[in-house]
Amino acid sequence: METPILEMRDISKSFNGIKVLDNVGFELRKGEVHALMGGNGAGKSTLMKILTGVYSLDSGKIVIDGAEAQIRAPKDAEKHGVSMIFQEFSLVPSLTVAQNIFLEREPRTKLGMIDDKACVRRTRQLLEELDVDIKPDDLVADLGVGYWQMTEIAKALSKETKLLIMDEPSSSLTKRETEILFDFIGRLKRKGISIIYISHRMEEIFQICDRITIMGDGKHIVTAAVNELDMDSVIRHIAGKNLDKFEWKERNGIAKEDVILEVRGLQTNNRVNGVDFELHQGEILGIAGLMGSGRTETMRALFGIDPIIEGEVHIRGRQASIRSPQDAIGYGLALVPEDRRVQGLVLEHEVRDNILLPSISKVTSVLVNDKKGDRVAEEWVAKLNIKTDSIYKESRLLSGGNQQKIVFAKWLANNPDIIMLDEPTIGIDIRAKTEIIEMVRSLADEGKSILLVSSEMTELLAVSDRILVFHDGKAVKQFMRKDISSEEELQHAIQGF
Amino acid sequence: MLSKASSGNGVTGGASAVRPFNWRQYIVYIAFVGVLIYFSATLSDDGFLSTNNMLNIIRQTAIISIMGVAMTFVISAAEIDLSVGSIAALSSLTSAMALESGFGILGAIVAGIGTGLIIGLINGLLVTKVLIPSFLVTLGMMGIAKGLAMWITGTAPVPIIDKTYVFIFGSGEIGSIPVMFFWTLTAAVVGHIVLKKTAFGRRTLATGGNQSAARFSGVNVSRTKLYVMLGSGMMAGLAGMLYAGRMHSGRYTFGEGDELSVIAAVILGGTSLFGGVGTVIGTVIGALMIGTINNGLIIMGLDVSQQMIVKGLIIILAVAFGRKAINK
């Protein structure tokens, strides 16, 4: 058998004494599309960051094309022909495709000026070779998202790349765009390009990948050809190695019969395509689904961020008209958004000011009553166990978990009835996670009604009374918590089988 | 809830609950004191320290301070207003014309402030409804307002003979203290309270600090921006009236280049050019510092060209020190 293009042997890596990669091995053959799978915290992204030179390895060996490769910086990875296509694209929208592809390494004329003609010619040649339907002179801004990705890939290939890493490449694409991308991946394969394909979508993986490697808890679990595995075994491998174990606990309060929020045929121009569901008083309703299935976007619509173009929202039995977050807040809604750094907090502002922002008018007569405001802030800092030297500390100086608690605090201080949580434990440490899960439970016990969007199955299963599965902008399935026997069952539903 | 009232890692109040020292906010005070000490030491024989000269500095910087107070809100909200100088020119004329036409002081106030409010409103609506960046809106408005100011009287100045108007709006003295001092003081105190102690002020800072987070927190971001643009127009209108009162006339040349001095005072004062952090008192100190430097350099006998260079250097240095200190 021919030498693999890439071999990562016994790779280990620790952060602050915590082992995140433990003797991981990974092998990639020439012209292979190799899926890399595993839950959050499995170590996939750390492994890829080591391969692309973002992190350096503690021990182990990287062998590329039979020779040991020292990858200490992104530049080294590029030298060895390794490129990663990022989810957030790194193109300049106001430049043309050709200008983007040769950005910072434009061919020069004899006089040292940029040789636009050569730039366009070489781009055209490249695009023809790849059989992509883009013109070198197209403005990137005018291309669809799917073509952005192909431009990005073309850019990588123009640098003699032989190994591509793609991270959830289809998550922002439509079905049609995804098909075009898969065709393209097929062509790359035939040209001998090797691809590491990171994804949670099994349907895709079984469609385009040759082999699958599953990681869990920083360890290599299994590598096998796709025809040796089926979805059940993949799910079992992934689920069996989840880092976080949250157990279902009976709560003191139970969900009442009263429907507090009813959503009928909700549609927006942003991926929400006829969502129906109801939420009961005191209930925790989990929302599962793949990236791009319309979960976040449904929350956005209900909170008045994205305009609702069709459908009805009833709150406490009355039709609600939500056109802005102010309206939503008026109906007793709160949203802990997906991206706390961008949407949740004013990072350079004090903990206190962030906590008080939605409820500032409650501590204001004519002027803000700072004593009262400080008391409110201190109360919530203590209640949620937010670790900070003082309520006057800038929020950016706190850890991720504590920042997320500030976002919770700012909404709880406003005393909402319906709390929407969008990936509330993403990117925070296990202790803060546990605290937040516990908080969600006690909020429901107090009679708050909760919508919980999460990609972490254990988390959903640990607290939800009921779970909705979203697919293509709709709520397609519903499970009562007690009817779900295992994480695998939920995974099946999410994958759309 | 998780009732862990005093587990020791929450806030315990007392000594730990002091605000951390923020260099950017204080650099202007340090710089201002430095400038004062330097000029006092070198120019004491030339009358720099005399009461008269000090009052002079206040008189000369008042208009910049007053526009700076409103600009602090604009910049705190991560917007900009380049039209303030032109608005001042136009409103100096409209208020002078109102007096000339016999509408009295009240009429002059309505005309002067009204001019500022109308332009501020147009600026604000273009920024919030048509979604044009404030830089472009106010750059355009700068030309329009200036053009209007030249056009309404065919570039001719409009003299003001109303003694009361002239006294109140700029030339008067109470005791031996110029009314300009009281205007500055009032603007600074009101501005400071509105920015630091009202819900509107907090929302302005949140909007500038992170517009997206502010919106997700239920702040009406576009109304907040409309109000800051409106406020800036209004204060520029007042500034125009003060020009008219000090100079006993309305003229289209008033306020020329003031937008840059105002922005310099605001940034020098510690307000972040990127929004989210603002200080009205800092702005007034910033304006005073620029005025003091101007004054000192004139007494030193530097000519205009040298003054400009030294002033520019000092502004860059002060801001650079402020940045360096916060990056530590």
> What one-character-per-residue DSSP string does A16-30 give?
TTEEEEEEEEEEE-T
Q: Supply the pLDDT for residue B7.
A: 39
Q: Which residues pair with B173 in a beta bridge?
A: B178
Condensed to tens digits (0 to 9), the pLDDT of residues B222-246 reads 999 999 999 999 999 999 999 999 9
Mean pLDDT of chain B, nearest integer: 90
pLDDT band at B24 (very low <50, low <70, confident <90, very high): low
Binary contact (A325, B216; C-beta < 8 A):
yes
Q: How many contacts does A have with B, using Cβ atoms within 8 A? A: 120
By C-alpha distance, the chain A residue nearest B14 is A390
Q: Closest Cα of chain A to B129: distance in Å?
A: 15
Binary contact (B214, A357; C-beta < 8 A):
yes
Q: Find the angle CA(A175)-CA(A180)-CA(A183) to the nearest 5 degrees.
A: 125
Instruction: Write the residue in A337, A360, A381 that is nearest to B11 by C-beta.
Output: A381
Q: Supply the pLDDT for residue B3.
A: 40
CB contact A492 to B (< 8 Å): no
Binary contact (A348, B276; C-beta < 8 A):
yes
Which chain B residues touch A364 with a CB distance below 8 Å?
Answer: 198-199
Q: Supply the pLDDT for residue B322.
A: 66
Condensed to tens digits (0 to 9), the pLDDT of residues B46-70 reads 889 899 999 999 999 999 999 999 9
Binary contact (A361, B202; C-beta < 8 A):
no
Class of residue A161 by CB neighbours under 10 A (exposed 0-12, middle 13-18, buried 19+): buried
Domain A259-495 has CATH 3.60.20.30: no
CB contact A343 to B (< 8 Å): yes
Helices B221-247 and B104-128, packing angle to 10 deg: 150
Q: Closest Cα of chain B to A169: distance in Å?
A: 26
Binary contact (B6, A382; C-beta < 8 A):
yes
Binary contact (A378, B10; C-beta < 8 A):
yes
CB of A326 closer than 8 Å to CB of B218: yes
Binary contact (B216, A305; C-beta < 8 A):
yes
Q: Which residue has the tokens 């996939």?
A: A44
Q: What are the residues whose beta carbons fall under 8 Å from the beta carbon of A376, sequence distance 6 or more? A: A355, A356, A359, A363, A413
Q: Where would I find the H helices in A96-251?
A: 97-101, 116-130, 145-157, 175-190, 202-208, 231-239
Other Cβ atoms less than 10 A from the Cβ of A274: the count is 15
Q: Supply the pLDDT for residue B138.
A: 98
Among B196, B211, B217, the strongest candidate for a mutation testing the A interface, having the largest count of A CBs within 10 A, is B217
What tokens does A20 get?
A: 């995140």
CB of B35 closer than 8 Å to CB of B292: yes
CB contact A415 to B (< 8 Å): no
Q: Could you give the CA distance from residue A399 to residue A415 in angstroms, rounded to a whole number? A: 25
SS3 call for A229:
coil
Is it the case that residue B326 has pLDDT exceeding 90? Answer: no
Q: Which residue has the tokens 């009921």?
A: A466
Q: What are the Cα distances from residue A357, in Å, to A376, A422, B190? A: 12, 19, 22
Q: Give me the percent of chain B exceeding a pLDDT of 70.
A: 91
Q: Closest Cα of chain A to B210: distance in Å?
A: 5
Q: Could you give the CA distance from residue B168 to residue A370 in angstroms, rounded to a whole number? A: 36
Q: Which of B292, B302, B290 is nearest to B262 (CA)?
A: B290
Q: Supply the pLDDT for residue A244.
A: 53
Q: Could you give the CA distance from residue A24 to residue A47 in angstroms, rounded to a whole number? A: 8
pLDDT band at B2 (very low <50, low <70, confident <90, very high): very low
| Range from A32-36, A178-182, B11-15, B252-256 carrying the lowest mean pLDDT | B11-15
| Range from A267-271, B88-92, B183-187, B230-234 carrying the lowest mean pLDDT | A267-271
Is it the case that residue B12 has pLDDT exceeding 50? Answer: no
Same fold, A6-239 and A259-495: yes
Q: Supply the pLDDT for residue A121.
A: 94
Q: Closest Cα of chain A to B17: distance in Å?
A: 5
CB contact A416 to B (< 8 Å): no
Which chain A residues touch B2 with a CB distance below 8 Å?
Answer: 383-385, 435, 438-439, 442
**In the CATH scheme, what architecture does the domain A6-239 have?**
3-Layer(aba) Sandwich (3.40)
Binary contact (B9, A325; C-beta < 8 A):
no
Q: Closest Cα of chain B to A299: distance in Å?
A: 11
What is the value of pTM for the model shown? Answer: 0.84
Binary contact (A329, B203; C-beta < 8 A):
no
Low-confidence residues of chain A: pLDDT under 70: 1, 87-88, 240-245, 497
CB of A351 closer than 8 Å to CB of A382: no
Among A351, A353, A371, A390, the strongest candidate for a mutation testing the B interface, having the largest count of B CBs within 10 A, is A390
> Can you list the positions of beta strands (E) in A347-448?
418-422
Q: Closest Cα of chain A to B16: distance in Å?
A: 6
Which chain A residues touch B77 with a CB distance below 8 Å?
Answer: none
Q: Could you give the CA distance from residue A26 to residue B232 in angstroms, rounded to a whole number? A: 62
Is it the case that residue B14 has pLDDT exceeding 60? Answer: no
Interface predicted TM-score of the whole assembly (ipTM), two decimals: 0.89
CB of A332 closer than 8 Å to CB of A416: yes
By C-alpha distance, the chain A residue nearest B193 is A367
Condensed to tens digits (0 to 9), the pLDDT of residues A296-326 reads 999 999 999 999 999 999 999 999 999 999 9
Domain-by-domain residue ranges, chain A?
Answer: 6-239, 259-495
Which chain B residues touch A350 with a CB distance below 8 Å?
Answer: 19
Instruction: Write the residue in B17, B199, B213 that is nearest to A343 by C-beta.
Output: B213
